[in-house]
Amino acid sequence: MIVQLRICVPAELSAAVVDQCMAHAGSAEISIDRGSSVVPAGDVITVQLAREAVEGLMEELHGLRVPELGSISASTPELVLSKRADKAAAAVPGEGSDAIIWDEVSRQTGEDSRLTWSYLAFLVIATQLAGIGIVTDSTIAIVGAMVVGPEFGPLAALAFGLVERKWTMVRAAAAALAVGFPVAMMVTAAAAWSSLPLGLFADDALDKGSAVEFIYHPGPYSLIVAALAGAAGMLSMISRRSSALIGVFISVTTVPAAGYVAVALVMGETGKAAGSAMQLLLNLAGIVLAAAAVLLFFKFTQRRTESRRIDARRAADRRKPGAPRPERR
């Protein structure tokens, strides 16, 4: 997998950036357009390199203060036909699908963690659909709520912020969850309360809901499902795989529980509401902990891969003609 970096830097920094790019075995192509950047004034360097090598190069570019003095943008070409690119990918240890670009994950999770009107709207709609599915014992409505639910964004941001110690992101994600779920549950409770006098559902609707019994019975499998959901969601995010079905999997454990709390409180089923609330809290915690564990695992493996790459580069430098040989004792 090839990633293309567009690096805009002042002219006096171009040589150092090009040297760093050329030092990476994963670099396939490097080009420079001198003086092509107007704001900021400088050069534009384009690099195509194996995805496995991107994180190492990003760290070195941060060391050169490129993001402060210029900019870095990354994109993934749909198709690259190049033997040089194939050789570059083969020269770097690891697999492209397992490589994480931490700046990319940070930006994505940071954007998804904000408390916005669209996030609130999606969560309210999802919880309303879950409430309708609960009182009508409709699996289809509950699945619809799972599809609409947007809550994995803040949960992923919370896990990433804890692992990377980005406390601003942690606070933003916690605020999105702490505000979003209560608002969604209050709206759903109000809708259920106003629907009772209209006879839209029976007073004993919760006693007939065989399809939703799993929601208010917290147990070992609740935490297991939440952990699996958190791990699958984070893997989907960092590997850039399709997240449509992953979103459904995540919402299995959160949005229906929130909807059940709202409906059960309106109908006076405090025991079931308490069980569902406990389910929701366990699920949220399990998702965050599992997602953080996935990030820690990949961080550890990526550091080992980068260490092997550095050792291989040093060994290659020692084998170059004219390189000083170790003295014999």
pLDDT tens digit string along 186-230?
999 999 999 887 777 767 667 665 555 666 666 677 788 888 888
Q: Quick one: 87 and 147 in the same domain?
A: no
pLDDT at res. 48: 92
Residue 63 to residues 17, 58, 59, 69, Cα–Cα distance (Å): 10, 9, 6, 11
What's the mean per-residue pLDDT of the chain? Answer: 82
Q: Quick one: 118 and 61 in the same domain?
A: no
The reply to whether 324 falls in a domain is: no
Paired tokens of 38 = 């107007």
Q: How far apart are CA 276 and CA 267, in angstroms?
A: 14
Strand partners, 74: 5
pLDDT at res. 112: 75
pLDDT at res. 172: 93
- Is residue 283 within 8 A of residue 222, CB to CB? The reply is yes
Looking up residue 39, the CATH number of its domain turns out to be 3.30.70.120
pLDDT at res. 159: 93
pTM greater than 0.85 (yes/no)? no
Q: Is the pLDDT of residue 5 over 70?
A: yes
Most confident of 10-19, 224-233, 315-324: 10-19
Q: Quick one: 155 and 285 in the same domain?
A: yes
**Average pLDDT of the segment spanning 304-322:** 61
pLDDT at res. 52: 83
pLDDT confidence band for 141 (50 / 70 / 90)? confident
Q: How far apart are CA 97 and CA 99, in angstroms?
A: 6
pLDDT confidence band for 153 (50 / 70 / 90)? confident
Range of the domain at 138: 104-303
Q: Is the pLDDT of residue 120 over 90?
A: yes
Identity (one letter) of the amino acid at 323?
A: A
Domain boundary among 80, 99, 118: 99
> Which H/E stretch holds residue 45?
strand 42-50
Q: Quick one: 120 and 77 in the same domain?
A: no
Instruction: Burial-class residue 214 by CB neighbours within 10 Å (0-12, 13-18, 19+).
Output: middle
pLDDT at res. 326: 42
Number of structural domains (the chain) is: 2
H-type alpha helices, the chain: 11-22, 51-63, 66-69, 83-91, 102-112, 117-136, 139-148, 152-164, 167-195, 220-238, 244-251, 255-266, 270-319
Q: Is the pLDDT of residue 7 over 90?
A: yes
pLDDT confidence band for 162 (50 / 70 / 90)? very high
Paired tokens of 309 = 């790459």
Q: Quick one: 153 and 95 in the same domain?
A: no
Query: pLDDT, tens digit, for every residue of 236-269?
Result: 888 766 554 455 455 566 888 899 899 999 988 8
Q: Quick one: 162 and 19 in the same domain?
A: no
H-type alpha helices, 11-101: 11-22, 51-63, 66-69, 83-91
